Chain A
Amino acid sequence: MNENESQSSSAWTTAIVLLYGACLGAALFQILAVSPQKSKPSEMSRLHIKKDSSPSVAVVPIYGVITIGEDGPFSNKSTDNLNKRLKALGERNDVKAIVLRINSPGGSVGAVQEVCDEIAKLKASGKIIVASMGDIAASGGYYIAASADKIYCNPGTLTGSIGVIFELANVEDLIKKIGVKMNPIKSSAHKDIGSPFRTMTADEQKIMQSVIDDAYGQFVDAVASGRKMDKARVKVLADGRIYSGAQAKANGLVDELGNLEAAISKAGELAGIKGKPKVLYEEEPWERILQSFTQSKESLFKLPGSGMSGHLAYLWEYAE
């Protein structure tokens, strides 16, 4: 190769490298979602909602303990994210019905009620909501299901557990044994209500009970209005016990016995979709891979109701 050819080749290589750099910059700008004109479709893409235009039924999974919390780098299971997904689905005209796939022992009162608020908005906007229970949809899981237009469960699904729990530990005797004394300095009499370092007073017991009763009343109201049942009848069923799917159906807590497919078909039928409805599944593909690494650790070290201590919860604690 003579000098001229070599220079020409070098110039071409430099030009190609520069062009490649520009393409790489533009590509990363698009992929990393840093575009200032972020539109709704990109929000949907971030939430892993696939684009489609034909009338569809979306399946939204509600798995595990329902809580409001920070999402980790590899997981987005807080109700904030769930509500965002529901909202995004609500804004789509092609989504005519939503099937809530519930496999949850319940969760914190606030989180459950926030999800129910979002479901109420979806219903108001004309979307059909059908709940499909998996292994378990107890307490807060049932609270959410009760707000659906129809509830499907398996004959052996564990459901019910309509009630509220606020579990507080009392380690007074333990800290006495190890010679520790707590000295709380408080602004008012009940500021350290629920302290694990002393026995609860009768007054505090009354206050706590009134809070529990109020939240319980809200649960009963939600079931009565969602299921269109008499409040007195709900109260009879809502003594905190769990029901099998078949028992729940016999008591009017669910509508039909059937699996997820049956719930999807019903949702399509209620939404007026002719034939087999198109189904949109929402899931984070990477999360599944990472879950396989984290799941075993969680099941080994998770105690019943862990993470809910000190929270008012619609939760069946011993389901995990």
Chain B
Amino acid sequence: MTVPVPEIFYSPQSAISKLKNSFGITNAILIQLSSWLSLIAGFFLLCGKETSLGWFIFVYAAGVLLFSAAKISSALLIHLFAEILGGEGKITKLLFLLCFADLPFHFLLPLGLLLKNASFLAAVPVILILWGWSAFLTVKTLQVNYNFLP
């Protein structure tokens, strides 16, 4: 199934519901990896930092490990609280759907190109806005996965 990328942005709930039924793990992993790649590359661009290919790969690999650990731990916590609150859903599905919640971080790449060398201070609000958007998609994901829909 093709990931309905535009739909996730303008109609997240229905897009996530569709994704829940498809379970295309390769797409999810690719989107998650490219989100983190955009986050790191965008941050480098906004801070006006140049580096070697080796260093970039090292930073990216370290970032993937760190973000993965954070994602799995947060998913475990979310799952625990969701079950306590009476939600019904699988943690594997949650992890799969959470990959799409990071989609807004892809915007950091074009924004980084536009605001290149704008300094660390410019990077912070941009990342915060995208993080807020990602948090909104995470909430939608929880609602869909644990049937917390109003």
User: Is B110 an interface position by the 8 A CB rule?
Assistant: yes
Q: Does A20 contact B (CB under 8 A)?
A: yes
Cross-interface CB contact of A32 among B6, B53, B113, cutoff 8 Å: B53
Stretch at the interface among B34-42, B65-73, B78-86, B132-140: B34-42
A171 within 8 A of B: no
A30, B45: Cβ atoms closer than 8 Å: yes
A275 at interface (Cβ–Cβ under 8 A)?
no
Please name the residue on chain B nearest to A26 by beta carbon.
Answer: B113
Chain A residues within 8 Å of B55, by CB: 286
Q: Are A9 and B2 in contact (CB under 8 A)?
A: yes
Check A31 against B110 for contact (C-beta < 8 Å): no
Interface residues of B in 37-66 (CB under 8 A from A): 37-38, 41-42, 44-45, 48-56
Distance, CA A13 to CA B30, complexed state (A): 14
Give CA–CA (A13, B5) in the complex, Å.
6
Q: Are A28 and B49 in contact (CB under 8 A)?
A: no
Q: Assess whether A36 is interfacial by the CB under 8 Å rule.
A: no
User: Which residues of chain A are near B2, meaning CB under 8 Å?
Assistant: 9-10, 13
Closest B residue to A29 by beta carbon equals B113
Q: Which of B5, B41, B116 contacts A28 (CB 8 A)?
A: B41
In this complex, what residue of B is CB-closest to A285? B49
A23 and B50 in contact (CB under 8 A), knowing A13-B3, A31-B41? no
Q: Which residues of A contact B51 (CB under 8 A)?
A: 31-33
Are B54 and A73 touching (Cβ within 8 A)?
yes
A31-B45 contact, Cβ under 8 Å, with A24-B37, A286-B55: yes
A37: chain B residues within 8 A (beta carbon): none
Asked if residues B109 and A24 are in contact (CB atoms below 8 Å), the reply is yes
* Residue A229 lies at the interface, judged by CB distance under 8 Å to chain B: no
User: B56 contacts which of A16, A20, A31, A42 (Cβ < 8 Å)?
Assistant: A31
Please determine whether A33 and B110 come into contact, CB atoms closer than 8 angstroms.
no
Asked if B6 and A27 sit within 8 Å, CB to CB, the answer is: no
Which chain B residues border A33 with CB–CB below 8 Å?
50-52
Q: Are A27 and B34 neighbours in the complex by a CB distance under 8 Å?
A: no
Shortest Cβ distance from A28 into B: residue: B41
CA distance A318 to B137 in the complex (A): 62
Q: How far is the CB of A209 from chain B (nearest CB, A)?
A: 46
Q: Report yes or no: A27 in contact with B3, Cβ–Cβ below 8 A.
A: no
Residue B112 at the chain A interface, CB threshold 8 Å: yes
* A1, A27, A30, most chain B CB atoms within 10 A: A27
